[in-house]
Amino acid sequence: MLDTALEQKISEATGVFAKDVGDWDVEMEIRPAPGVPPVHVKGTSTNRLIGGGRWLVIDHKADSGFEGHGIYGWDASTGKYTGVWVDSMQTCITKAEGTWDAATRTMTFVTTGTHGDKPIRYREITESREDGTRVYRNLIPMPNGEEFEMIHAVHRRKS
């Protein structure tokens, strides 16, 4: 059993996930590479809390056949948000460590995994907007040091 102060801290940290719970329609624009026309994909995301509200579980499906599953929470030992993601296009479990900016309502994760036999590291940014939508951006580092937005997704709560 955790002490009361730590329980309170965990509850405050994971409380940020409550806004993400529910069923969402998702419109994605995927850019396979710089200069390549984007692919437009629609999908759905079902998000729920488990473990007394400590963990956000995400199940995502796209009309393209893509499926993904993630679990996100707050790691009391590091004082940071943490998560894992698996999907139908990867052969590894990606691991994420992140921060929440309450002022901008933005969660930023640095995610690591492998692509083939090469390590990958990229940023994932999700902004929760006042109108209830969420905007997700997947930013891949380029050899010149700039970031390339590979995925831009808008989540709208289903009515």
14, 74 Cβ separation under 8 angstroms? yes
**Which tokens go with 9?**
């801290």
Kindly give the confidence (pLDDT) of every residue in the chain, 159 residues in length, as a single tens digit, with 9 standing for 90 and above. 668 888 888 889 999 999 999 999 999 999 999 999 999 999 999 999 999 899 999 999 999 999 999 999 999 999 999 999 999 988 899 999 999 999 999 999 999 998 888 899 999 999 999 999 999 999 999 999 999 999 999 999 998
141, 122 Cβ separation under 8 angstroms? yes
Domain 4-157 is in which class?
mainly beta
What is the value of pTM for the model shown? 0.92
CB atoms within 10 A of CB 139: 18
CB half-sphere exposure, 74, CA atoms < 13 A = 21
